[in-house]
Amino acid sequence: MVGEREITIEPITRIEGHLGVHAKLDTDARKISDAYAYSPMFRGFEIILVGREPSEAVMITQRSCGVCPVPHALSSVIACDQAYGVTPPPMGVTLRDFVHGAEQLYDSEIGVINLEGPDYSEVAIKKFNTGWWEEAQNKKAERSGVHGFATIADIMTALNPLAGELYLRSLLVQKTAHNMATIFGAKHPHVHSFVPGGIAKINLSVSDIESYLTLLMRNVAFAKELVAASDDLLDFVLAQGYEDVGAREKNLYSVGAYDDPEAYSANYGEMTDWARKRMVSPGVILNGELVTTDLIEQNVGVREFIGRGWYSDQWQQEVETDPAGNKVALEHPWNKRTLPKPGEYAKWDSKYTWVTSPRWWNWKGDGKNHVVELGPLARMWVTAKAGIVPASTGNSLKFELPAALIPGFKCADKMDFEWKIPAKPNAIERVRARAYYNAYSACCMLEKVMKALDLMKAGKTKVWTRYEKPEEGIGVGMVEAMRGSCQHWCVMKKGVIYNYQYQAPTTWNASGRDPDENPGPYEEALINSPITETGDAAGWKGIDIVRTIRSFDPCLGCAVSVHIGKKIVKHELLPFATPL
């Protein structure tokens, strides 16, 4: 037992929600030999949803996460569109995406600078990687013309919590992205305007869109600095032997985002088609190969196992096929039946978490269940490889952001970006992809603003489609949240929710061992990961572990949700179905 140490890190701070990691460290080889990720918090959202109007799920499910509420609202409202059979008008789809894009901007700024940034700040480097500091002071920053920092050490100083320039400015800039979301969302977090059939926005005017654009340009200006500073900093850290920290196989999953407003429909059968027209592509990469970009195939392949979650299962094959006629697995969320069963803490060889174990079943291919990683790295990778969108080259994403002279920002020129598919998924590349996704989202929203003005010119200002709610319906909504795919499934009977299941990206990423004993993505990324932390092993705080976990940008609040049996909660209903 020479050279082994166990470490439990709970709370892992600077993430959303309650997450802990228990790891075994091989202190001689300086690597992590085993790891368990777990969440010790449970609320039971899916239980609270049963018996309510499906449209209420739009409001309630986003409250599982205050960091990424909009993808929940959007996935939920897409599931409702399908269940109710109502397609919103193009302006309704565009305004929903305006809110979604705005949230991605704030979320990536906060993620890279305020949550993950402090791990690479002067304070952290001097404490945990003492050897790097001197080199960082001497290392000139290649892109200082864009971000204004002379050396890598200057960037590190700018990331110091509550003191560094980037840290403080990011907090100010992210406010503008929230403002963008509130113009059409009424408030943020927890936007109240998403309704089946469109969006609740009155008095829509060109000046609303102008306000949005004005605020967007501040984020465009900041994106240039964010990407340039991240590139310089992360290249430096990679060169310190960080290539393998948090590395795992190339198994990646994306559902895409930012719809084509004319193509989007509430018809499940057309989902493959309209999802491929998204500005961020859907798709699954297994062992480095893109196996599909068909969102219907992806939906059918979703299986949620109890794994090491504190639940007991009770499978029932209630949905045999999807609306397109594909056979649906017993463990598909449309069929999922789960009961919470709280268990003892820290039983690593038994149940140890409130997170279940979703896996992607390659049903048209090898027929196996795969552990896939979700997040900006996955969706940039898929989009770059899929070659569907104009920015995609097959191995990179190329796009540009326009010139903008705005006081307080350092780069007024137009800037070209190219995000290249990296050698492997690892902690550093996840952070870098998040920074680039900020810039790519800004680029997509600029295009959407032009689209919205076109719609205004054409007089297509309708934001909502009137409908008659059917008694029964089924739907699935899938869209990318900052930290990965957000997926909602709704089964409506007698006009109310019969079964509602949803999976946040963190449900996948933070999942524990599955029935085949395969660790979840966090665990995979940690196991065999090298340790760079300096000092005596007995005093290690686990900086490499938290950097790896934070590179996934965890959001535990939404990962833990559960449905209970078939119990219909009595709920007095008034017919919103056809507004008066």
Q: Which residues of 448-467 are buried (b: 16+ CB within 10 A; e: fewer)?
A: bbebbeebbeeebeebbbeb
> Shortest gap between Cβ of 412 and another protein (angstroms)?
24
Closer to another protein at the Cβ: 181 or 377?
Answer: 181
Which one-letter DSSP state was computed for residue 269? G
Cα dihedral across residues 514, 382, 474, 187: positive or negative: positive
| The pairing of beta strand 373-374 with beta strand 252-257 | parallel
* Window 448 to 467, contacts with another protein (CB under 8 A): 462-464, 466
Q: Is 255 within 8 Å of 331 (Cβ atoms)?
A: no
Asked if 17 is part of the footprint of another protein (rule: CB under 8 A), the reply reads: yes
Contact pick of 25, 32, 37, 69 for another protein (by CB under 8 A): 69
> Shortest gap between Cβ of 39 and another protein (angstroms)?
9
Closer to another protein at the Cβ: 422 or 473?
Answer: 473
Question: Which pair of structure tokens corresponds to residue 358?
Answer: 């979703």
Cβ neighbours around 393 below 10 Å, total: 14
Closer to another protein at the Cβ: 325 or 578?
Answer: 578
| Binding segment toward another protein, per CB under 8 A, in 27-35, 37-45, 390-398, 403-411 | 37-45
Asked if 12 is part of the footprint of another protein (rule: CB under 8 A), the reply reads: yes
CA distances from 401 to 219, 292, 391 (A): 11, 30, 12
Contact pick of 542, 548, 554, 559 for another protein (by CB under 8 A): 542
* Window 325 to 354, contacts with another protein (CB under 8 A): 340-346
The strands making up 357-361's β-sheet, listed across from edge to edge, are 302-305, 357-361, 369-370
> Shortest gap between Cβ of 29 and another protein (angstroms)?
22
Closer to another protein at the Cβ: 170 or 441?
Answer: 170
* Window 137 to 196, contacts with another protein (CB under 8 A): 161-162, 168, 171-172, 174-175, 178-179, 182-190, 192-193, 195
Closer to another protein at the Cβ: 147 or 188?
Answer: 188
What is the SS3 string spanning 49-109?
HCCCCHHHHHHHHHHHCCCCHHHHHHHHHHHHHHHHCCCCCHHHHHHHHHHHHHHHHHHHH
Asked if 288 is part of the footprint of another protein (rule: CB under 8 A), the reply reads: no
3-class state of residue 340 by DSSP: strand
Cα dihedral across residues 228, 387, 394, 363: positive or negative: positive
Site string for another protein, 463-492 (x = CB under 8 A): xx-x--------------------------
Q: How far apart are CA 75 and CA 64, in angstroms?
A: 13
* Window 119 to 138, contacts with another protein (CB under 8 A): 123-124
Closer to another protein at the Cβ: 228 or 492?
Answer: 492
Closer to another protein at the Cβ: 171 or 453?
Answer: 171
Q: Which of 223, 535, 540, 276 is nearest to 410 (CA)?
A: 223
Asked if 573 is part of the footprint of another protein (rule: CB under 8 A), the reply reads: yes
> Shortest gap between Cβ of 522 and another protein (angstroms)?
15
> Shortest gap between Cβ of 389 and another protein (angstroms)?
30
| Binding segment toward another protein, per CB under 8 A, in 280-288, 384-392, 515-523, 539-547 | 539-547
Closer to another protein at the Cβ: 124 or 271?
Answer: 124
CA distances from 245 to 35, 251, 524 (A): 14, 17, 11
Closer to another protein at the Cβ: 48 or 329?
Answer: 48
Find all residues with CB under 8 Å of 41, minimum gap 6, and list them.
17, 18, 354, 556, 557, 560
Asked if 535 is part of the footprint of another protein (rule: CB under 8 A), the reply reads: no
Asked if 538 is part of the footprint of another protein (rule: CB under 8 A), the reply reads: no
> Shortest gap between Cβ of 481 and another protein (angstroms)?
13
Asked if 419 is part of the footprint of another protein (rule: CB under 8 A), the reply reads: no
Q: How far apart are CA 153 and CA 543, in angstroms?
A: 18
- Alpha carbons within 13 A on the beta-carbon side of 489: 24
| Binding segment toward another protein, per CB under 8 A, in 24-32, 45-53, 412-420, 478-486 | 45-53
Asked if 202 is part of the footprint of another protein (rule: CB under 8 A), the reply reads: yes
Contact pick of 71, 148, 164, 198 for another protein (by CB under 8 A): 198
Cβ neighbours around 50 below 10 Å, total: 19
| Binding segment toward another protein, per CB under 8 A, in 233-241, 368-376, 436-444, 541-549 | 541-549
| Binding segment toward another protein, per CB under 8 A, in 358-366, 480-488, 526-534, 540-548 | 540-548
Contact pick of 310, 489, 522, 552 for another protein (by CB under 8 A): 310
Q: Which of 28, 11, 120, 122 is nearest to 530 (CA)?
A: 28
Q: Is 469 within 8 Å of 445 (Cβ atoms)?
A: no
> Shortest gap between Cβ of 261 and another protein (angstroms)?
15
* Window 343 to 402, contacts with another protein (CB under 8 A): 343-346
Closer to another protein at the Cβ: 301 or 307?
Answer: 307
Asked if 2 is part of the footprint of another protein (rule: CB under 8 A), the reply reads: no
| The pairing of beta strand 396-401 with beta strand 289-292 | unpaired
Q: Is 221 within 8 Å of 105 (Cβ atoms)?
A: no
Cβ neighbours around 539 below 10 Å, total: 8
Contact pick of 25, 37, 53, 433 for another protein (by CB under 8 A): 53
Which residues are paired to 502 by β-bridges? Answer: 488
Asked if 557 is part of the footprint of another protein (rule: CB under 8 A), the reply reads: yes
